[in-house]
Structure formats: C-alpha cells, structure tokens
Amino acid sequence: MSTVSNIVVIGNGPVGHKFLESLVESGKAADYNVVVFGEEPRPAYDRVHLTAWFETRDAADINMVKPGFYQDNGFVLHTHDKVVAIDRNKRTVTSEKGVTVAYDKIILATGSYPFVPPVPGHDRENVFVYRTIEDLEAITAAAEKGKTGAVIGGGLLGLEAAKALKDLDLQTHVVEFAPRLMAVQVDDGGGKMLRHKIEDLGVAVHTQKNTKSITDGESAVHKMSFADGEELEIDIIVFSAGIRPRDELAKSSDLAMGERGGIVINNSCQTSDDDIYAIGEVALWDNKIFGLIAPGNAMAQAACDHLTATGSSEFAGADMSTKLKLMGVDVASIGDAHGNTPDSRSYTYVNDRDEVYKKIVVSGDDKYLLGAVLIGDASEYGTLLQYMLNKMELPAEPEGMILPQTDGAATGLGVDALPDTAQLCSCLNVTKGDIVDAVACGATNMGDIKESTKAATGCGGCSALVTQVLNSELEKLGVEVNTDLCEHFAYTRQDLYNIIRVENIRTFDELLEKHGKGLGCEICKPTAGSLLASCWNDYILKDNLQSLQDTNDYFMGNMQKDGTYSVVPRVAGGEITPEKLIVLGEVAKEYDLYTKITGGQRIDLFGARSEQLPAIWKTLIDAGFETGHAYGKSLRTVKSCVGSTWCRYGVQDSMGMSLILENRYKGLRSPHKLKMAVSGCTRECAEAQSKDVGVIATENGWNMYVCGNGGMKPRHADLFASDLDDETLLKYIDRFFMFYVRTGDRLQRTSVWMDNMEGGLDYLKSVIIDDKLGVCAELEAEMEHVVDTYQCEWKTTIEDSEKVKRFEHFVNSDAVDDNVKFEREREQIRPVSKSIEFVEVS
C-alpha cells in the first residue's frame, strides 16, 4: 500500500478496543494512521466485569489495554473527548474539544446508554445508572451515607446491580415491572425459583410494580410511588431498565437507522455509507441489537477482516443464550426459552427442596433442542447449548438431559459427538478443535488449556464442558488419566487424606497394610508423612514416622549438592533483635558456615555436616530461635513490610499481623510449601500478591488475596475478600489452608490448584465464605488442632539423645565424611567446584 489511509475509531469501549486488537493481529496496523476517540476519562476497560471494580475499587484491575499498546502500534488515543460531528462531505470527524481529523474509514463503536424512563423525579440526586466506573464511584459514595437501595429493573444487569448494592451493605430491593425477574430469558416457573434465590441473598423482590414517581421521602431520601398505590422509602435508586444504542452521530450524519434506533449494518458491518462501519451495541443487524460482548467481538473481527482485506469472517447473527454471573445463583437461559416455536414441546423438572428448576424446549419430533431454562443448577448449560448450536440429535428420551442421574447413566451423547467447529468458549471464541489441538500438543490439564487457548478465562461458564473435552481427548490419546499416587496406592492424595481421617489412621504401616501394597516408595511415603502430619500433627521423627520423611525433613535442613545441610531458623515476619542477629553471626563463625540473607527475609547458614546440626540447633534454640521449616512442605515465611508503626503511608500494623500469621501457621504440613505476606498499604512493599495468601491493609481492615505464586510460573494472586477484620481474616485463612490441605494434589502449589479447580475463584469463595459444602466448622477445628499441637521439631529432637545420635555420619565411627571439601570465595566457604553431570529424575 503506497498511501497510508486514516482510520478513525469512535468509542473506546470493549468492542472498539477489540477492533484495534484485531487490527494489530491482522499484521496490517502499520498501513494505517489510527486515531481513537473515547468519551470516558480512561482507555477501554472490561465492562462485562464492571462489578469486579468493587473488589479493589481500582480501575486498573479491569483495564483491557496492555501496557504500551497504543504507543507500540502508533495509535493515537484521545480520551475524555467525545466526537460531536462527522462531516461526510469533507470526510472529517470533529470532537468536543475541537480536534478535527480526516478519515478514510470510520469505525463507530459508541455502544449504548442505560435507558431511564421519564418517571417524574428520575433526575433527582442519588438516582443512578450502572454502566461506567464513574457510576460505581458515585453509587459507592452515596452508599456510605444511605441505608437502603432499590434497583428499578429485574433483568440480568439489574440483578447484578442489586447484588452490588447488597454488598455495599444496603438493605436492597429490586423493583420489576413484569410479573417475574429476568422476564426475557426465563419462564414463569423459573422466575418463581429465581425469586426465591434472590430473596435468599437478602434482596427484597417486588414484581408487577410500575414506578409512577420519585419524590422526597420522609424516613429516607426518596419516596417511590407505584401505580398500585404502594410506596417505598429508599435512599439510593439505580435504574437498570434496558439499554439504547448511542446512535446520535449516525442520525446527524444521515446513516440508515432502524425504526427504534440502532445503525443498520450488513454482514461486513458496513453502514449505509461503505466507508463507515458500526460494531458492538450500537449496530443493528437484521433488525436486532445485540447487548452482549461475544457478538460485539465477532462484529469487530468481521469489520477488521473486511477493512484490511485480510480475512473473510462475516457477522452472521449471534446466539443470545446467557448465564447470570452472580455468586451463588445459577441461572441460565438458552435459545427459545419460552417455547415460542410452533409445535415445540417442553419438559420440566422442578425440585422445591434444592430450589432447582430446569426446562428444555425441543422440536415437535423430540429430535432437536430449541431452548432451555436452568435455575439453581446450571451444570448442563454447556452441553445443552452445544446441542442447540450444532443442531445435534437428542437422545430418545430428551428429558434425561435434565433429570438427576440416579443410575449413573450418562446424559446425552457426550462431548465426542460435538463437531470440531463447535464453539465451546464464546467469550474467547475457542472451538472444540482448538482444545483437541492443544491436547495433541501436550496439554494435560486445565491450567495448560487455559494458558494455550485462553478458553474458560472469561466468564468461566464453559469450564465444565472444556474439562470434559480435555479428559475425553486425553483418554483417546491413550494418556491414561491415571490419578493413582504410585504403584503402591491406587488412590489420589485426596482419597488418602479422607481414608486417614475417616479411619483414624496414625501410621504409614497401617495405611499400607489396609489400603496399599509393596513397601511404599519415595513418592507415597513423604506424601503419607505429610498427610499424617496435616491430620494429627505428631512429631515427625517419631519412630513410626521417621522413615517416611524425605532427607530434608529427616535432617530438618535442606540437603545441598555436597550432602551438607542448610540451617534456617525462623525469623517470623523478618523481624529480628540485634541480640539474635549476633547469635546467628556467632554460630556461623564458630562452624564456619556460608551466610546469606534469603529471598524470604531471613538468614540461611549453609555447609553444616549432619553431625553438626544438633549442636548448632542447640545453641540457636537456647538463644530463643526455632526451626524455620525451610525444608518442609509447610509454611515458609510471612514476608512483611514495616507498616503503620514506622512507614508514613501505612494504614494498618502489617508487621504485627505478619507475626500473628507466621506464628499461627508455622509447622502446618501441606501438599506443597506455603508462602504469605502482609503489606501495610496498597504500595505493596511485601509483594503479597505473589504469595499463596497475601494480605494488604486497607483503611477498613485487610484485603485477602489467594493463590499467587512466584517461582517457575508466576501467577498474580486473586482478590478473595475485602476489608476484613482480624478475626474474619484468620477464619478465612484457616479454612482456605485446610481446604487446600484436603484437596490439593501432591506437590501442587495453590496457584495450580486454583487453575485446575472447576468453578475457580467463585467456587472457592462459595466454599470458604458461604460454606456451600458445609465443611467450614470442620476445617476450622482441624486448623485449631494443628495450631494447638505445634512444637519446634528441632527442640524436641535435641532433647532426645537417641535421636541426636542418628545425626552422626557413621554408625560405627566418629570420623567425618572426608568427601565434603570446601574452598573459599569472597571470604566464605563454598563446596569445592567439580563439574558434575546429573540426570534429574522426576
């Protein structure tokens, strides 16, 4: 291309941004001058996850723009500047701030705005909509002063907004004009069940209520008056009564529009002017507006393909099936949920006890699925959606698809029947074929799949189905999905945990005799040792436990490459007195140990021979130290920052909290090591978001983060709960750790555990915060036992002369191992360098 042409993108929402990303992916970005206008004060953010803003109240957390995205690609972005005119004759675009740019092509991605019915009083103060970060900021500020809130509109977004008000500690009401909630997606029966569920969340539901006016209240800010004569006194009102396309620019520049608004587009997303495209929620295709993100993304791709002539995708309509993303409330609607198709049949399953309602709508001959409604249990969502989208033939008795399985019979045809083109993840547009390819390239678990295909990283609604495809593919490849721990136990680590608990098993011998075979091995023995310790917390060198311990646990130090050990006393929270520092220095000097400050805010002394360990530890323990468990699959350190005591920014005593945490969880044996950190403010000097559990101080308490990891595959921790008081924080951490101890795999860090957990973070929250499994009391009691039975295993050891003897290198001589040799480097010892070639096994 010789002349560079100008593209002007109007609107910097998720879909406008998707267009820019597609442009970059097409490899043609350099052929264009791209200028983007966005009315909002910040670059594109993820509106679908708008509600997540409340978790941190930090816009950065839902930002969609990778660092350097605009600069690297030469895109010019004008934020906070609305386009006010398109001059199709002069071919220019002009903004509110007076910027005028020439265009060759325009992308209109102006989205939509919340519709506010012209009820008298709708423009009063403390009346809001729910669309932008600014809206949420205003609602949050108002909530601090108010006690009650109402959402007008009981649709998908209205319910999400209601949950948000509830979480802001407002007494919350939903006011719906129709006779039921989510009237568009859900039928009468489902609506009833849904209502129960929402009421269970503590939200009052009012249906068939037509708001006539909003006036001054007596006991609250407003009084809402309804057509039926009833009234509701309320402090805060949020309108969520539908959306309208922001088509004003199209109107003023004479583009073809729909009768009720929206800019008419063809399959390439061109408007009535070939040089102007419209995509996202502002576009009208086949007389329909699509208020979901997936169709918007598909439009962005189609427009980009057409404009750059690099692809051939066309927009061909989109499926409007949806799943509500409210914690603890499963609601899904697929296709023709109301059975409007002539001659269709429906099957319904209702279970009042568990509050489950499921309905499928099928063709008159029972062959094809047309629609479905699932309330209370949406686990079949993925499968049913695939049946409908791919027009797959239903099993002979289609009702089996939604009936509870009592005889273990499989529902439907299973994932094998899906064509490779079936889109499993609509958020990220991942097909079954993509998953199959990923498995063929070596993916063996959900973590791998997420990383290589991005499937299930959006709304998460597809994760059950993706897991099924993954497992079925693994099986086909002959990758036996063998979850046996090793040849001695035909059980998983989880199974063994349950067996040990339920049968009250105290030794490995008993476990092996009852449930295993052979002698055991270097895999099952340490695993059993760890499980027994998590459950009963006996001294690890007890006679019948010591042979299970890996050498590091046995010698209570990490074996180094030359067979010597390291000595790492606990320095809780990294806080240490000068006296103790001196003792460490003296010990290091006396035994000539290599001394280093670790990455975990403590001091490591290297090069101790096994026979020196008891004497070294005796000196340390006499000086008040205890073991640091640097060797165990157990709590390592709680990294800290100085916090409010010294730091000018600190808002809580992070140092004090790190001590509480380290002293509480020290000695807890777990599937893999555990690391924690506490920061005194959001500057995060303790790097808490890279830890298994991170705690960050807020004005009101503590934010708790979980499942972070440094190491080989870093993972940012997820925000788990906000503004906790000390007691709740400890309670949640107790439950979190014990749930991990119960369900983690051997040597699986919490990060990988989370990435493989079906339901992910929301599931974990439902277990730990809402006690969905009813196990929280047990988890807390189990943790209490571990905390109460803590002992410093080095102290116990040096007090037992029989144990101490076993640290001698030779059973029959006082000689020392003459193979251990040191040389000096930078004034300290180091193992004599020799080039060794080793094969690393497992």
Partner 1 sequence: MSNWADICSIDEILPNMGRCALVDGEQVAIFRVKTIGQDIDDQFYAVNNFCPFSDANIISRGIVGSISDQVVVASPLYKQRFDLATGQCIEDESISLKTYPVRIAGDKIQLAA
- Cα separation, 170 vs 164, in Å, equals 9
- Cα separation, 44 vs 58, in Å, equals 14
State the nearest-atom distance from the C-beta of 498 to ligand FAD, in Å: 37
82 binds, among ligand FAD, ligand FES, ligand SF4, none (CB under 5 to 8 A by kind): ligand FAD
462 binds, among ligand SF4, ligand SRM, ligand FES, none (CB under 5 to 8 A by kind): ligand FES
CB 829 within 8 Å of CB 608: no
405 binds, among partner 1, ligand FAD, ligand SRM, none (CB under 5 to 8 A by kind): none
Q: Does 604 bind ligand SRM (CB under 6 A)?
A: yes
Which residue(s) pair with 640 in the sheet? Answer: 678
- Cα separation, 657 vs 643, in Å, equals 10
Give the interface segment with ligand SF4, choosing from 268-276, 531-539, 579-587, 679-687 (CB under 6 A).
679-687
Chosen residue from 326, 427, 541, 752 binding ligand FES by CB under 6 A: 427
DSSP state at residue 627: B
CB 298 within 8 Å of CB 314: no
Return the SS3 of 156: helix
Instruction: Say if residue 834 is exposed, middle or buried (CB neighbours under 10 Å; 0-12, 13-18, 19+).
Output: exposed
Residue 606 Cα distances to 529, 558, 572, 592, angstroms: 26, 9, 20, 9
State the nearest-atom distance from the C-beta of 450 to ligand SRM, in Å: 17
Chosen residue from 568, 588, 707, 798 binding ligand SRM by CB under 6 A: 568
CB 591 within 8 Å of CB 675: no
Q: Does 284 bind ligand FAD (CB under 6 A)?
A: no
- Of residues 469 and 528, the one with the C-beta less far from partner 1: 528
Residues in 564-593 at the binding interface with ligand FAD, rule: CB under 6 A: none
Residue numbers at the binding site for partner 1 (CB under 8 A):
487-488, 509, 512-513, 518-522, 524-526, 543, 546-548, 550-552, 554-555, 559, 561-563, 610, 806, 809-813, 815, 817, 819-820, 834, 836, 838-842
Q: Does 427 bind ligand SRM (CB under 6 A)?
A: no
- Cα separation, 674 vs 691, in Å, equals 8
- Cα separation, 452 vs 435, in Å, equals 9
The residues, any chain, with a CB within 8 Å of residue 418's CB and separated by 6 or more, are: 386, 390, 392, 424, 432, 469
Give the interface segment with ligand FES, choosing from 5-13, 26-34, 421-429, 488-496 (CB under 6 A).
421-429
Residue 329 identity:
V
Which residue(s) pair with 566 in the sheet? Answer: 606
The residues, any chain, with a CB within 8 Å of residue 682's CB and separated by 6 or more, are: 58, 696, 698
Residues in 297-326 at the binding interface with ligand SF4, rule: CB under 6 A: none
**What's the CA angle centered on 656, arms 655 and 658, to 5 degrees?**
65
Q: Does 684 bind ligand SF4 (CB under 6 A)?
A: yes
Residue pointed to by tokens 């299970």: 548
Q: Does 636 bind ligand SRM (CB under 6 A)?
A: yes
Residues touching ligand SRM: how many (CB under 6 A)? Answer: 19
60 binds, among ligand FAD, ligand SF4, partner 1, none (CB under 5 to 8 A by kind): none
Return the SS3 of 54: helix
State the nearest-atom distance from the C-beta of 654 to ligand SF4, in Å: 6
- Of residues 177 and 555, the one with the C-beta less far from partner 1: 555
Taking CB under 6 A as the rule, which mask of x and - marks residues 619-658 in contact with ligand SF4? ----------------------xxx---x-xx---x----
Give the interface segment with ligand FAD, choosing from 48-56, 205-213, 257-265, 482-490 (CB under 6 A).
48-56
The number of beta carbons lying within 10 Å of the beta carbon of residue 417 is: 13
Residues in 446-505 at the binding interface with ligand FES, rule: CB under 6 A: 455-462
456 binds, among ligand FES, ligand SF4, ligand FAD, none (CB under 5 to 8 A by kind): ligand FES
- Of residues 354 and 840, the one with the C-beta less far from partner 1: 840
Residues in 748-807 at the binding interface with ligand SRM, rule: CB under 6 A: 749
Chosen residue from 179, 317, 518, 599 binding ligand SRM by CB under 6 A: 599
State the nearest-atom distance from the C-beta of 535 to partner 1, in Å: 20
Q: Does 15 bind ligand FES (CB under 6 A)?
A: no
376 binds, among partner 1, ligand FAD, ligand FES, none (CB under 5 to 8 A by kind): none
What value does the CA radius of gyration of the chain take, rounded to a whole number of Å? 31
- Cα separation, 404 vs 521, in Å, equals 42
CB 243 within 8 Å of CB 291: yes
Dihedral (Cα; 137, 141, 142, 145), 10-degree rounding? 160
Residue 630 identity:
A
- Cα separation, 591 vs 612, in Å, equals 8
Residue 133 Cα distances to 83, 130, 137, 291, 384, angstroms: 20, 9, 6, 19, 35
Residues in 68-87 at the binding interface with ligand FAD, rule: CB under 6 A: 82-83
CB 556 within 8 Å of CB 631: yes
426 binds, among partner 1, ligand SF4, ligand FES, none (CB under 5 to 8 A by kind): ligand FES
Chosen residue from 185, 225, 549, 637 binding ligand SRM by CB under 6 A: 637
Residue 561 Cα distances to 15, 531, 829, 832, angstroms: 55, 28, 14, 11
Taking CB under 6 A as the rule, which mask of x and - marks residues 310-349 in contact with ligand SRM? ----------------------------------------
CB 18 within 8 Å of CB 300: yes
Residues in 1-30 at the binding interface with ligand FAD, rule: CB under 6 A: 10-16
Which of 80, 79, 107, 111 is CA-nearest to residue 93?
A: 107
Taking CB under 6 A as the rule, which mask of x and - marks residues 142-181 in contact with ligand FAD? ---------------x--x---------------------
- Cα separation, 470 vs 425, in Å, equals 13
459 binds, among ligand FES, ligand SRM, partner 1, none (CB under 5 to 8 A by kind): ligand FES
Which of 803, 788, 794, 796 is CA-nearest to residue 625?
A: 794
**What's the CA angle centered on 174, arms 171 and 176, to 5 degrees?**
160
CB 109 within 8 Å of CB 280: yes
State the nearest-atom distance from the C-beta of 803 to ligand FAD, in Å: 60
- Of residues 644 and 748, the one with the C-beta less far from ligand SF4: 644
Q: Does 566 bind ligand SRM (CB under 6 A)?
A: yes
Give the interface segment with ligand SRM, choosing from 585-593, 630-638, 757-765, 780-788 (CB under 6 A).
630-638
State the nearest-atom distance from the C-beta of 528 to partner 1, in Å: 11
- Cα separation, 532 vs 510, in Å, equals 12
Instruction: Work out the angle between the directed axes of helices 508-515 and 524-536 (0-180°, nearest 10).
Output: 120
498 binds, among partner 1, ligand SRM, ligand FES, none (CB under 5 to 8 A by kind): none
Residue pointed to by tokens 């220019």: 92
Chosen residue from 20, 34, 37, 661 binding ligand FAD by CB under 6 A: 37
State the nearest-atom distance from the C-beta of 733 to ligand FES, in Å: 29
Q: Does 533 bind ligand FAD (CB under 6 A)?
A: no
- Most distant CA pair in the chain, distance: 100
Do you know the residue count of the chain? 842
Residues in the site for ligand FAD, rule: CB under 6 A? 10-16, 37-40, 47-48, 50-51, 82-83, 109-112, 130-131, 157, 160, 246, 249, 280-281, 291-294, 296, 325, 459
Residues in the site for ligand SF4, rule: CB under 6 A? 641-643, 647, 649-650, 654, 679-681, 683-685
Residues in the site for ligand SRM, rule: CB under 6 A? 558, 566, 568, 596, 598-600, 602, 604, 630, 636-637, 673, 675, 709-712, 749
Residues in the site for ligand FES, rule: CB under 6 A? 425-428, 455-462
